[in-house]
Amino acid sequence: MLKPATIWTLAVLTLATPAVTAAAHAGTPAPHSGGLTLSWAGGTAKPGGTGEQDTAVVTVKNTGHRTQTLTGRPEVVLVQRGSSHTETLREQAGDRGTVRIAPGRSAAFTITFVGSAEPDAIKPDKAVVKLPGGQRQNLPWRWGAVTRMEAATHPGNYTGPLRPAKTASVDIGAGVTITLRDGVPYYEGKPMRTGETIDNGIYIHFDGTRLYAKTQGGPGIKYGIWDAYSGTYLGDQEKRPA
């Protein structure tokens, strides 16, 4: 059996000034009087939608003069103009910790959703984000129609936890390095989708909170698990992540 300690190594790079990347073709940030500004910043989501499960990253930047303390997870409701239809994105089970954002610094969280071309899908024009503590801000939605999954037992639409914005680099073995940017894995500069198999037969799964990786083709090889924001190695498991 391959040992995680021998195959996987970790290097974490914390950005001195967390930045909203060029993927924020997303447009003008949404200002807030409390000193926090939201903006889109990367992920697999594309304008107009892809019809697949995608992840969009939202940065929360402190543009004020005092440190902001946020405890818990953001709530997101997708709203369709001229309609009573909404879609509430549930949070994933797990960390509901506290994030402190100093002036000029950022935190980030992910919105994962399933795109759709079906006529009964919701066609949002905005995402209403409620930050921990009750502050509400709107972001224009440009990622296309979304499958309604609010009533599902295991919905594919959900939000990830708030984490300090950073970049981490994870060596998952077989000569493959995955870059984690604000909770989203990138391979060779391109954002990845969960369930993707890349070079050397490595299977990747992520859920907005954790990254799982398995090298295919060998008996007894387990899924390595990393925190999707810090890149911290969390152990392994035999069961394929769902």
Same domain, 174 and 158: no
Determine, yes or no, domain membership for 204.
yes
Does the pTM surpass 0.95? The reply is no
- Write down the pLDDT at residue 75: 92
- Write down the pLDDT at residue 41: 83
| Residue 85 burial (10 A CB sphere; 0-12, 13-18, 19+) | middle
Cα separations in angstroms, 130 against 78, 88, 89, 143: 12, 11, 11, 19
Q: List pLDDT tens digits, range 90-104.
A: 776 666 678 999 998
Q: What are phi and psi of 156, to 5 degrees?
A: -90, 0
Q: How far apart are the C-alpha atoms of 41 and 60, rounded to whole Å? A: 10
Q: How far apart are the C-alpha atoms of 27 and 191, rounded to whole Å? A: 19
Q: How many CA atoms lie within 13 A of 20 on its CB side?
A: 20
Same domain, 66 and 149: yes
Phi/psi-derived region of residue 223, left when phi > 0, alpha when psi is between -120 and 50, beta in every other case: beta
Give the residue numbers spanning the domain of 225.
4-14+166-237
Q: For residue 188, give the DSSP letter.
A: T
Same domain, 104 and 203: no
Look at residue 121 and tell me whether its pLDDT is greater than 50: yes
Task: Identify the domain boundary among 137, 163, 189.
Answer: 163
Same domain, 111 and 206: no
Q: List pLDDT tens digits, range 131-186.
A: 988 889 999 999 999 999 987 878 889 998 888 878 899 998 888 899 998 778 99
Query: 233 or 218: which carries more pLDDT confidence?
Result: 233
- Write down the pLDDT at residue 94: 63
Same domain, 138 and 181: no
* Residue pair 87/122 in contact by the 8 Å Cβ criterion: yes
Q: How many CA atoms lie within 13 A of 139 on its CB side?
A: 26
